[in-house]
């Protein structure tokens, strides 16, 4: 039987729930009843499945929190001597990297700036071409060179 290529609601939900639980997209798509990873990644990037794209984005963010939570479990494994520190360090770095990229608002060491004002007064209204900008500068400065 061929794998599905359409984003049916039950397929979308299963993929996103499993991603949110911390599974990789690659491992989820290994199941024969789910689409191939190439199909799912195309849904993400080509814009033809907007309902999937938004759920997938939220699932990835949730997975970031799951990955961050695993760091605490690894720390407990070090304390109980169930995990060697050098192995734990590598795993913690990988989970930290994932958490920072999947859920940057919650886990990134960098500050994320949102330059949009709440009332829209300082939000950019439109793109200005170089020619229009040069013309406006000449108008304001009184120069015509």
Domain CATH code at residue 78: 1.10.10.60
Tokens 């330059």 sit on residue: 115
Give me the chain's average pLDDT, please: 83
Q: For the chain, how far is it from start to end, CA to CA, in angstroms?
A: 71
The answer to whether residue 133 is domain-embedded is no
The answer to whether residue 64 is domain-embedded is yes
The answer to whether residue 125 is domain-embedded is no
The answer to whether residue 126 is domain-embedded is no
Asked if residue 19 lies in contact with residue 56, where contact means CB atoms within 8 angstroms, the answer is yes
Instruction: Classify 131 as helix, strand or coil.
Output: helix
The answer to pTM > 0.75 is: no
Nearest one of 45, 31, 43, 55 to 6, comparing CA atoms: 43
Q: What tens digit of pLDDT does each residue of 67-94 get?
A: 888 988 998 899 888 989 899 999 999 8
> Cα–Cα distance between 27 and 19 in angstroms, integer?
9
The answer to whether residue 94 is domain-embedded is yes
The answer to whether residue 51 is domain-embedded is yes
Tokens 């990644």 sit on residue: 41
> Cα–Cα distance between 11 and 49 in angstroms, integer?
12
pLDDT at position 47 is: 80
> Cα–Cα distance between 134 and 138 in angstroms, integer?
6
Nearest one of 1, 109, 30 to 15, comparing CA atoms: 30
| Confidence at 133, pLDDT banded by 50, 70, 90 | confident
| Confidence at 56, pLDDT banded by 50, 70, 90 | very high
């Amino acid at each position: 039987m061929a794998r599905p290529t359409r984003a049916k609601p039950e397929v979308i939900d299963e993929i996103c729930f499993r991603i949110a639980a911390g599974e990789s997209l690659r491992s989820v798509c290994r199941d024969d009843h789910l689409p191939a990873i190439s199909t799912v990644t195309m849904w993400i990037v080509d814009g033809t499945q907007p309902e999937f794209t938004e759920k997938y984005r939220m699932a990835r963010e949730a997975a970031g929190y799951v990955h961050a939570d695993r760091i605490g479990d690894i720390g407990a494994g070090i304390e109980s001597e169930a995990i060697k520190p050098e192995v734990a360090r590598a795993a913690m770095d990988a989970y930290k990297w994932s958490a920072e990229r999947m859920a940057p608002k919650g886990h990134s060491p960098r500050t994320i700036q949102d330059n949009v004002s709440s009332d829209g007064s300082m939000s950019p209204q439109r793109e200005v071409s170089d020619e229009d900008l040069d013309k406006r500068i000449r108008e304001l400065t009184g120069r015509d060179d």
